């Protein structure tokens, strides 16, 4: 194989330099947006609230599970608590990560 054939094969497997530059630019922009999010003063209270809610919400499952889930209202409450706990986990996952 000639050198130009090898170079063309390696470019097709890896991608063109322009695509690599676009990917790097995209990652850089995403990193800067994430840094802006982390530094924004309104996100900190939501992270704190989400973190501590994710810790406290499972204690509300105990009475439901202890008495058993027998009615539709209790099962909807349980599913709602699970969804709320999942949202709290997402919101509070970055609290005090530094």
- pLDDT for res 45: 81
- pLDDT for res 29: 82
Instruction: Label residue 6 by pLDDT band (50, 70, 90).
Output: very low
Same domain, 54 and 17: no
SS3 for the chain is CCHHHHHHHHHHHHCCHHHHHHHHHHHHHHHHHHHHHHHCCCHHHHHHHHHHHHHHHHHHHHHHHHHCCCCHHHHHHHHHHHHHHHHHHHHHCCCCCC
Q: Is the pLDDT of residue 17 over 60?
A: no
| pTM for the whole structure | 0.55
Same domain, 92 and 50: yes
Same domain, 35 and 46: no
Total of domains in the chain: 2
Residue 4, domain extent: 1-39
Same domain, 30 and 10: yes
- pLDDT for res 84: 95
């Amino acid at each position: 194989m000639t050198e130009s054939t090898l170079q063309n094969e390696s470019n097709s497997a890896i991608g063109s330099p322009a695509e690599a530059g676009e990917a790097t630019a995209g990652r850089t922009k995403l990193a800067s947006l994430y840094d802006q999010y982390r530094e924004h003063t309104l996100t900190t209270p939501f992270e704190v609230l989400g973190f501590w809610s994710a810790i406290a919400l499972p204690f509300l499952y105990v009475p439901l599970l202890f008495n058993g889930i027998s009615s539709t209202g209790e099962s909807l409450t349980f599913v709602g608590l699970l969804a709320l706990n999942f949202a709290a986990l997402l919101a509070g996952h970055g609290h005090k990560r530094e």
